[in-house]
Amino acid sequence: MSKTRASGRTVGGLRSLSLQAPAVTLLLLWMLVPLGMTVWFSLQRYNLLMPGMEGFAGLEDYEYLFTDPALWRAMGNTLLLVGSVLVITVGGGVLLAVLFQQEFPGRGIARVLAISPFFVMPTVSALVWKNMMMHPSNGVLSWVAGVFGLPAVDWFSSLPLTSIVIIVAWQWLPFALLILLTAMQSLDDDQVEAARMDGAGPIAVFFYITLPHLKRAISVVIMIEMIFLLTIFAEIYVTTSGGPGLATTNLAFLIYIQALLDFDVGLASAGGVVAIVLANIVAIFLVRLVAKNLEN
Amino acid sequence: MTTLKTKQALPADGQPASASANGATRARHTPLVPSAGARRLWLTLLGWGIALIIFFPILWMVLTGFKTEAEAIADPSLIFSPTLESYIAVQARADYFKFAMNSVVVAFGSTLLALAIAIPSAYAMAFLPTKRTKGTLLWMLSTKMLPPVGVLVPIYLLFRDFGLLDTRTGLIIVYTLMNLPIVVWMLYTFFKDLPRDILEAGRMDGASTFQEVIYLLLPLTLPGIASTGLLSVILSWNEAFWSLNLTSSSAAPLTAYIASFSSPEGLFWAKLSAASTMAIAPILVFGWLTQKQMVRGLTFGAVK
């Protein structure tokens, strides 16, 4: 005990280090081993269905990947999916956070109901939407359309990507709402009151006080959602399996097809490297933002 | 200071605000907004309406679970005589329990393991910080940024070679590592909130580090540890990338079981709904209980 205090930093530092060792070592292995393997495989000719053909391929896999129209289609779908869901969830999340910040009877319960979809496992929400909501003949949406005399929509064949966007946005809107509502609670009431006294209407309060206050929370929501949305998988797996054609194949699904259905380890790994690079571009900004917070 | 700034900013560009001169504001305010009662009514209707629309698919799923298969595909109707038929049918398929059991074992197993690894680490970061602590925390956060698809191939091949494919052990390993950064971060923020004097006092009384942790730290931060654990359980329970890719039958959790309903021949809506309701009910309740802490964990403390 006294030793720690007397010799100061080094002993304490050593103890600190040894306590952190298990977590740090495991995470280091979890990160470096698969990452190294992915990069290594991406430089190999390696197909599980063609044993004996293995060998160093250099950038062949990348060349094949980048000249394959499927990659560009998948990239486009990925960006479209991420972009649309972000716009819907952040825009909707801000409006809903303002709404659920107002006092009304049963607000607590209404809030709980509105954030519930976030806790539903992706396979369940995808199947419920696919079968019970969007089914062309028996779904609730087509019934609603019928009530208004509109033709029923065959969601997954005529609007495949839109359908996926709706399902994913339904899952992530509550996430945005949850984070933004929490951020709203630290909004200074006196400031709002002072602005009201000065004659600011609700719209002015929203644009000049609420929105600036939420800026940081919004950027956190955007970045965290991006990281998850870049690799959306289960929703596509249970609804469209990437189809029709390649209409709903995103990068994650393309890699899955190449790796576990076509058994092309080399090509799938090259795709994996692309996914990692994409995610890291986003991650750098998120880590910076959190780091800033850690300083205070 | 901030108040002053907004005061100045408002009349300048705030069109709706500048219309009313300062003195007249109060008097005009009341007639503009019809009455507090009407405003409250509209808010209530809007709030509840939107909440119910968002919640509707879940509600509909729960209701469909209590219908017969024929009613389930008939025109949407709120009037039906509830039956437990589908629940009984789902329960009768013994494999439902196998999947549910896998979910429970994997979610709780990985959570306990993650807590056991994370508690010493978070303790060290909160109470024995070194120059490197901040860097380590941020690096841990960055491991979460590695997209699972990016490492699917090597993990799959490693699992195949070590015989971990389709085993609970394999999933527990993956989920533990997947949630470890979040668990360390959340525990770190809870530990940091603990007044240092309390641990200091224990040390004065001659408590060893071990005693300090067991008798002081853990009981005092139990609510925080519990909500960290719940978040980890929720994330593991709902995880559907690794579970779909690394398991096939014997270790498959509920996410994979529900996914099996996507095949055309498996389309029994009432049974699907009953099974789904059972799969999400416990997690929904956990989620409701831990919303606040969840924000902390999911945003790595950037939003409080």
Query: Is there a single domain that holds both residue A120 and residue A225?
Result: yes
pLDDT, average across residues A70-79: 88
Which residue would you say has higher pLDDT here, A125 or B25? A125
- Pairing type for strands A44-45 and A55-56 reads antiparallel
Query: Is there a single domain that holds both residue B55 and residue B106?
Result: no
Confidence of residue A295 (pLDDT cuts 50, 70, 90): low
Query: Is there a single domain that holds both residue A123 and residue A221?
Result: yes
Residue B144, domain extent: 89-298
Number of residues assigned to chain B: 304
Domain boundary among B61, B86, B111: B86
Contact B20 A199 (CB under 8 A): yes
User: Measured between alpha carbons, how far is A122 from A126 in angstroms, rounded to an integer?
Assistant: 6
A203 within some domain: yes
| The pLDDT value given to residue A7 | 41
Query: Is there a single domain that holds both residue B156 and residue B270?
Result: yes
pLDDT, average across residues A177-199: 86
Query: Is there a single domain that holds both residue A12 and residue A120?
Result: no
B10 within some domain: no
- Of the candidates B52, A132, B191, the residue with the CA atom closest to the CA atom of residue A141: A132
Query: Is there a single domain that holds both residue A222 and residue A112?
Result: yes
Query: Is there a single domain that holds both residue B179 and residue B51?
Result: no
| Position A134 pLDDT exceeds 90 | no
Quote the mean pLDDT of chain B.
Answer: 81
Query: Is there a single domain that holds both residue A168 and residue A24?
Result: no
pLDDT, average across residues A14-31: 86
Contact A260 B245 (CB under 8 A): yes
pLDDT, average across residues A248-262: 84
Query: Is there a single domain that holds both residue B139 and residue B201?
Result: yes
User: Which residues partner with A44 through β-bridges?
Assistant: A56
| Position B298 pLDDT exceeds 70 | yes
Query: Is there a single domain that holds both residue B203 and residue B131?
Result: yes
DSSP per position, chain A = -HHHHHHTHHHHHHHHHHHHHHHHHHHHHHHHHHHHHHHHHHTEE-BTTSTT--EE-TTHHHHHHHH-HHHHHHHHHHHHHHHHHHHHHHHHHHHHHHHHHS--TTHHHHHHHHHGGGGS-HHHHHHIIIIIIS-TTTSHHHHHHHHTTPPPP-HHHHSHHHHHHHHHHHHHHHHHHHHHHHHHTTS-HHHHHHHHHTT--HHHHIIIIIHHHHHHHHHHHHHHHHHHHTT--HHHHHHTTT-STTTT--HHHHHHIIIIIS-BHHHHHHHHHHHHHHHHHHHHHHHHHHHHHHH-
Share of chain A above pLDDT 90, in %: 18
Residue A216, domain extent: 60-295
User: Measured between alpha carbons, how far is B156 from B150 in angstroms, rounded to an integer?
Assistant: 11
Confidence of residue B264 (pLDDT cuts 50, 70, 90): low
Dump pLDDT digits (tens) for B134-180.
Answer: 888 888 888 887 788 888 888 988 999 999 998 999 999 999 999 99
Top-ranked range on mean pLDDT: pick from A84-93, A154-163, B219-228, B240-249: A84-93
Contacts of B269 in chain A (CB under 8 A): 131-132
| Position A96 pLDDT exceeds 70 | yes
What is the distance in angstroms between the Cα of B281 and the nearest Cα belonging to chain A?
Answer: 9
Judge contact between B219 and B136, C-beta under 8 A. Answer: no
Query: Is there a single domain that holds both residue A30 and residue A76?
Result: no
| Position A153 pLDDT exceeds 90 | no
Query: Is there a single domain that holds both residue A133 and residue A215?
Result: yes
Of A198-212, A281-295, B7-21, B94-108, give the lowest mean pLDDT range: B7-21
| The pLDDT value given to residue A11 | 61
| The pLDDT value given to residue B14 | 40
Contacts of B255 in chain A (CB under 8 A): 121-123, 234
Query: Is there a single domain that holds both residue A136 and residue A3?
Result: no
| The pLDDT value given to residue A167 | 94
User: Measured between alpha carbons, how far is B208 from B202 in angstroms, rounded to an integer?
Assistant: 9
B111 within some domain: yes
A55 within some domain: no
The beta-carbon neighbor of A19 closest among B121, B245, B254 is B121
Q: Which of B8, B145, B160, B177 to mutate to test the interface with A (most CBs of A within 10 A)?
A: B145
Q: Which of B77, B149, B205, B260 to mutate to test the interface with A (most CBs of A within 10 A)?
A: B149
pLDDT, average across residues A67-92: 90
Top-ranked range on mean pLDDT: pick from A28-37, A40-49, A257-266: A28-37
Judge contact between B86 and B273, C-beta under 8 A. Answer: yes
Q: Which of B86, B143, B151 to mutate to test the interface with A (most CBs of A within 10 A)?
A: B151
Contact B149 A272 (CB under 8 A): yes
Judge contact between B259 and A237, C-beta under 8 A. Answer: yes
Q: Say which CATH number the domain at A67 has.
A: 1.10.3720.10
Contacts of B128 in chain A (CB under 8 A): 12-13, 15-16, 19
A102 within some domain: yes
Q: Say which CATH number the domain at B122 has.
A: 1.10.3720.10
A118 within some domain: yes
Q: Which of B20, B174, B272, B303 to mutate to test the interface with A (most CBs of A within 10 A)?
A: B303
Contact B153 A182 (CB under 8 A): no
pLDDT, average across residues A182-191: 84
A150 within some domain: yes
Confidence of residue B26 (pLDDT cuts 50, 70, 90): very low
pLDDT, average across residues B194-204: 80
B235 within some domain: yes
Query: Is there a single domain that holds both residue B167 and residue B47?
Result: no
Within 10 A of A252 (CB to CB), how many other CB atoms are there?
28
Residue labelled with tokens 């009981």? B219
Top-ranked range on mean pLDDT: pick from A140-144, A168-172, B258-262: A168-172
Contacts of B141 in chain A (CB under 8 A): 286-287, 290
Query: Is there a single domain that holds both residue B77 and residue B94?
Result: no
Contacts of A23 in chain B (CB under 8 A): 117-118, 120-121, 140, 180, 184
Judge contact between A269 and A38, C-beta under 8 A. Answer: yes
pTM of this prediction exceeds 0.80: yes
Query: Is there a single domain that holds both residue B141 and residue B160?
Result: yes
Of A85-89, A241-245, B123-127, B183-187, give the lowest mean pLDDT range: A241-245
Query: Is there a single domain that holds both residue B195 and residue B266?
Result: yes
- CA contacts within 13 A on the Cβ side of B136: 24
Contact B299 A224 (CB under 8 A): yes
Dump pLDDT digits (tens) for B107-145.
Answer: 999 999 999 999 999 988 888 888 888 888 888 888 887
Contact A16 B154 (CB under 8 A): no
B164 within some domain: yes
| The pLDDT value given to residue B25 | 44
| Position B21 pLDDT exceeds 70 | no
The beta-carbon neighbor of B47 closest among A104, A197, A208 is A104
Backbone torsion region of residue B164, taken as left when φ is above 0, otherwise alpha when ψ lies between -120 and 50, otherwise beta: alpha
| The pLDDT value given to residue B299 | 78
| The pLDDT value given to residue B215 | 83
A54 within some domain: no
Three-state DSSP class for B34?
coil
Phi, psi of A262 (to 5 degrees): -95, -10
Tell me how many residue pairs between chain A and chain B have CB atoms under 8 A apart.
Answer: 357
Structure tokens at B2: 């901030």
Q: At what angle do helices B269-298 and B168-193 cross, to 10 degrees?
A: 40
Query: Is there a single domain that holds both residue A202 and residue A233?
Result: yes
Confidence of residue B266 (pLDDT cuts 50, 70, 90): low
Top-ranked range on mean pLDDT: pick from A140-154, B36-50, B105-119, B197-211: B105-119
Query: Is there a single domain that holds both residue A135 and residue A253?
Result: yes
Cβ burial of B57 (10 Å; 0-12, 13-18, 19+) is: buried
Contact A259 B156 (CB under 8 A): yes
Structure tokens at A250: 């995103």
B217 within some domain: yes
The beta-carbon neighbor of A27 closest among B133, B181, B280 is B181
**Side chain identity at A291, as an amino acid letter?**
A
| The pLDDT value given to residue B1 | 38
Domain boundary among B49, B65, B86: B86
Query: Is there a single domain that holds both residue A15 and residue A107?
Result: no
Query: Is there a single domain that holds both residue B107 and residue B226?
Result: yes
> CB under 8 Å, gap of 24 or more: what pairs does A68-71 form?
A70/A246, A70/A249, A70/A254, A71/A254, A71/A271, A71/A274
Contacts of A110 in chain B (CB under 8 A): 47-48, 50-51
Query: Is there a single domain that holds both residue A175 and residue A36?
Result: no
A47 within some domain: no
Top-ranked range on mean pLDDT: pick from A55-64, B62-71, B291-300: B62-71
| Position A104 pLDDT exceeds 70 | yes
Contacts for B224 with CB less than 8 Å, ≥ 6 apart: B186, B187, B190, B191, B193, B293
pLDDT, average across residues A183-189: 83
Contacts for A122 with CB less than 8 Å, ≥ 6 apart: A171, A234, A235, B238, B240, B255
- Of the candidates B82, B69, B145, B161, the residue with the CA atom closest to the CA atom of residue A275: B145
Q: Helix, strand, coil proportions of chain B in percent (round to 5)?
A: 80, 0, 20
Quote the mean pLDDT of chain A.
Answer: 84
Within 10 A of B29 (CB to CB), how many other CB atoms are there?
13
Tell me which chain A residue has its CA closest to the CA of residue B41. A104
Confidence of residue A92 (pLDDT cuts 50, 70, 90): very high
| Position B23 pLDDT exceeds 50 | no
Phi, psi of A47 (to 5 degrees): -125, 125
| Position A164 pLDDT exceeds 60 | yes
| Position B27 pLDDT exceeds 80 | no
What value of ipTM does the predicted structure carry? Answer: 0.84
Query: Is there a single domain that holds both residue B94 and residue B80?
Result: no
- Of the candidates A235, A228, A214, the residue with the CA atom closest to the CA atom of residue B298: A228
Residue labelled with tokens 């393309």? A254
Domain count, chain A: 2
Query: Is there a single domain that holds both residue B110 and residue B50?
Result: no
- CA contacts within 13 A on the Cβ side of B16: 14
- Of the candidates A87, A144, A156, A164, the residue with the CA atom closest to the CA atom of residue B53: A144
A198 within some domain: yes
Domain boundary among B86, B102, B121: B86
| Position A151 pLDDT exceeds 60 | yes
Structure tokens at A197: 């006294």
Domain count, chain B: 2
Residue labelled with tokens 């306990």? B112
